[in-house]
């Protein structure tokens, strides 16, 4: 199964942004892509300017599928060509259900397996909080990317994430890539954090590749405010258009380094 997850115990480090862009990149290259949001904020919809679709309908949450009240196709929300999202209603409640009813674990694994027959890639967007739901889904992920913010809190988040894997007996070898986010040429702190992260990666996740750092870029915030992905073909005002083209090129070269 090609199940790719972005995870980190620290919030706001760019997990959703990264997985949204990675998913869209593959979709524009002809792959059939599904992104499951197990974060009930469903912020993945915002990456594509499709927040309205979260509230448009009330009967197409992941929970309905798990409960058997919906079919596989019923909960898919198309946001771009070849790109589908699934939304979650209540992450904590869903996790509680998995904790109390062991057979529900099999149900959710089977659902992902069945989607695997229809999609080339299944991405999972996690919240920063962790729960039984997180463990079950990380266990079946073939590729885990840990997104790390390049500051001292971000590094702490990386460390907590490794500890979380150890405490819950999740295979650390599942972590294939580390994605440093928030680099800046002009600031010293992110550079120092990156050096430390590379060192810590060598020690704790020797099997993982540390990808080139993603820069802190205002164009990312601008695009998300407009609901535009770097892989959309739209006309923006000149400054943003140039920045978007550069971002698209940088992301493309980064994504080509990720084997799935
Ligand atoms: N490289 C970047 N440069 C500038 N802004 C960024 C970058 N990456 C992410 N952001 C911004 O940071 C904020 C948090 O990003 P995002 O929602 O992807 O993080 P997250 O880890 O998924 O957060 P959460 O833990 O809440 O799920 C967003 O406003 C996003 O636009
Ligand atoms: Mg997120």
Tens digits of residue pLDDT in 39-59: 999 999 999 999 999 999 999
- Sorted by where each begins, the domain ranges of the chain are 3-255
- pLDDT at position 177, please? 98
pLDDT at 237: 83
Is 221 touching ligand 1 by the criterion CB < 6 Å? yes
Nearest of 89, 122, 125, 94 to residue 13 by alpha carbon: 125
Cα separation, 120 vs 140, whole angstroms: 16
Measured from the alpha carbon of residue 224, the closest ligand is: 1
For the chain, residues with pLDDT lower than 70 are none
3-class SS of residue 214:
strand
SS3 content of the chain, % helix, strand, coil (to 5): 50, 15, 35
**Does domain 3-255 correspond to CATH entry 3.40.50.1260?**
no
- What's this model's pTM, rounded to 2 decimal places? 0.97
- Residue with the smallest CA separation from ligand 1 atom 3 is 216
CA of 157 to the centre of ligand 1 (A): 15
> How confident is the model at residue 235, as a pLDDT?
85
| Ligand approaching nearest to the C-alpha of 129 | 1
Residue from 16, 123, 134 whose mutation best tests the ligand 1 pocket (most atoms within 8 A of CB)? 16
């Amino acid at each position: 199964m090609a199940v790719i997850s972005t995870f980190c115990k620290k919030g706001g480090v760019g997990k959703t942004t990264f997985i949204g862009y990675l998913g869209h990149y593959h979709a524009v290259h002809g792959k059939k892509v599904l992104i499951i949001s197990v974060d009930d904020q469903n912020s993945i919809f915002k990456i594509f300017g499709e927040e309205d679709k979260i509230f448009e309908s009330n009967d197409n949450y992941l929970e309905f599928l798990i409960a058997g009240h919906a079919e596989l196709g019923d909960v898919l929300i198309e946001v771009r060509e070849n790109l589908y999202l699934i939304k979650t209603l209540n992450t904590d409640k869903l996790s509680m259900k998995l904790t109390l009813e062991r057979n529900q674990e099999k149900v959710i694994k089977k659902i992902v397996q069945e989607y695997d027959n229809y999609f080339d890639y299944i991405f999972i967007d996690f919240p920063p909080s962790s729960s039984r739901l997180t463990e079950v889904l990380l266990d079946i992920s073939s590729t885990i990317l840990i997104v790390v913010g390049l500051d001292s809190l971000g590094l702490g988040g990386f460390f907590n994430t490794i500890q979380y894997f150890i405490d819950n007996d999740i295979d650390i070898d599942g972590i294939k890539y580390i994605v440093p986010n928030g680099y800046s040429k002009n600031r010293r702190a992110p550079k120092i954090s990156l050096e430390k992260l590379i060192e810590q990666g060598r020690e704790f996740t020797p099997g993982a590749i540390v990808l080139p750092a993603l820069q802190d870029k205002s164009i990312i915030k601008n695009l998300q405010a407009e609901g535009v992905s770097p892989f959309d073909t739209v006309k923006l005002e000149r400054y943003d258009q140039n920045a978007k083209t550069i971002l698209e090129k940088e992301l493309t070269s980064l994504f080509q380094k990720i084997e799935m």
